[in-house]
Amino acid sequence: MKVPDAVDGVVLDEETIAARVRELAARISADYVADDDLVLVGVLKGAFIFLADLTRRLTVHHHVDFIALSSYNRGTVTTGEVRLIMDTRASVTGRHVLIVEDIVDTGSTLDYLLRTFRARNPASLRSCILLSKPTRRQVEVPVDYLGFEIPDVWVVGYGLDYADRFRTLPYIGALKREVHE
Amino acid sequence: MKLWDDVARIMISEQELQARVKELGQELNATYTDEDHPLLICVLKGAFVFLADLIRHLEMRHDVDFMEISSYGAGTASSGVVRILLDLERNIEGRHVLIVEDIIDSGRTLDYITRNLLTRRPASLRVCTLLSKPSRREIDVPVDFVGFEIPDEFVTGYGLDFAEEYRNLPFIGVLKEEIYRNAEI
């Protein structure tokens, strides 16, 4: 396994992630076994690897849809407000929606997503998040299926990037402090 | 009802897929260097599973970006012209671009996407597809990397859907006939 110079070490290796994704998929499959119309909404770009692995371990019928978000900027600084760039293809009204995200940090993005989708009157609305940094939370958001709680370090890989880099590392690594400071 | 009960047979097993995706990754490693820093473009939704596995084998520096397209409707099908719902995040001028596709059928959509991207002047443009149905081809679009050539059967799994379902099967399978029949009623 090649670890780039900018990465300090492996926080979660491939086997650990794969095992946890299987557990999450087993729980989700059990929870939705009686529900007809489940749609997993993956948030681009970060969630695509997690979603690709999670969806293949589900044993229940479901659809997959995607949304893309960006942040509003004031000058060069992000305001933290979220802008929806691409909405889901299909309507979610009356359906069981499971939002799939790579990480919940301050909680503002997930809060935005939950408010947005709740307003569309889904049959149910839950979230499945690979990583959570509880010490960073500013907005209280419910996470129904969580992969791992991690400390407040800058993590990359398995969908997570630093300035669009290191997104496709097959494991989750910690970025060296000097790289992002 | 379990999802797998709807599958008549497995055309390409999970092990065969994984082995071939690894080989494709190695072909790409031999093609591109860190300096090339290729941009992999995934056309949603079908190719996201393939992309997620392919990138795990890449050793060179690379980025990923996504496009989502939809058809304008019946009249435009033969031109391949599609509506771009989500365009690339970044400019590709001067970049080495690799389009990652799940399947190439008639080749018309791919031909249009290729022409569209070429107007943006990438340094190079190649295509990597998991599956190809050569017997269905209507436009001779160049494909640089092919996972499997398959006969003209309706396949699902590994990103490919039937009526938005079965994308998540970890293999490429052929569905039971009654699944199609029920859908047609």
pLDDT given for residue A35 in this prediction: 87
Q: Which residues on chain A are in Cβ contact (under 8 Å) with B52?
A: 48-49, 51-53
Mean pLDDT of chain A: 93
Find, among B95, B93, B113, B135, the residue nearest to B47 by Cα.
Answer: B113
Mean pLDDT of chain B: 92
Indicate the burial class of A89 (C-beta count within 10 angstroms; 0-12, 13-18, 19 or more): middle
Please answer yes or no on whether A59 and B167 come within 8 Å at the CB atom.
Answer: no
- Segment B121-146 shows an average pLDDT of 96
Q: Token pair of B43, please?
A: 């056309």
Half-sphere exposure for B177 (CA within 13 Å, toward CB): 0
CA distance B115 to B135: 23
CB B69 within 8 A of CB B85: yes
- The whole model's pTM is what? 0.94
Position with higher pLDDT, B4 vs B29: B29
Q: Out of B105, B140, B152, B161, pick the active-site residue.
A: B105
Fill in the amino acid letter for A99: I
Please answer yes or no on whether B165 and A90 come within 8 Å at the CB atom.
Answer: no
CB B46 within 8 A of CB B160: yes
Q: Does position A9 have pLDDT exceeding 70, yes or no?
A: yes
CA distance A116 to A109: 10
Find, among B119, B110, B112, B128, the residue nearest to B64 by Cα.
Answer: B128
CA distance B158 to B173: 9
Before A2, cis peptide (omega within 30)?
no
A161 a catalytic residue:
no
| Most confident range, picked from A77-86, A169-178, B123-132, B154-163 | B123-132
Where residue B37 falls (left for φ over 0; alpha for ψ -120 to 50; beta otherwise) is left
Of B3, B56, B168, the CB nearest to A170: B56
Share of chain B above pLDDT 90, in %: 80
Going along chain A from its start, the domains and CATH numbers come out as 7-180 (3.40.50.2020)
CA distance A4 to B158: 29
Q: Does position B184 have pLDDT exceeding 60, yes or no?
A: no
CA distance A41 to A100: 6
ipTM above 0.90, yes or no: yes
Of B64, B159, B165, the CB nearest to A168: B64
- Classified as helix, coil or strand, A35 is coil
Phi, psi of A167 (to 5 degrees): -60, -35
Q: Which residues on chain B are in Cβ contact (under 8 Å) with A43?
A: none
- Segment B106-133 shows an average pLDDT of 96
pLDDT band at A163 (very low <50, low <70, confident <90, very high): confident
Q: From the CA of B52, how many Å to the nearest CA of chain A?
A: 5
- Segment A152-157 shows an average pLDDT of 94
Q: Does position B106 have pLDDT exceeding 60, yes or no?
A: yes
Q: Does position A62 have pLDDT exceeding 50, yes or no?
A: yes
- Segment B87-104 shows an average pLDDT of 96
Going along chain B from its start, the domains and CATH numbers come out as 14-152 (3.40.50.2020)
CB atoms within 10 A of CB A129: 23
pLDDT given for residue A81 in this prediction: 80
Q: Out of A35, A37, A87, A105, pick the active-site residue.
A: A105
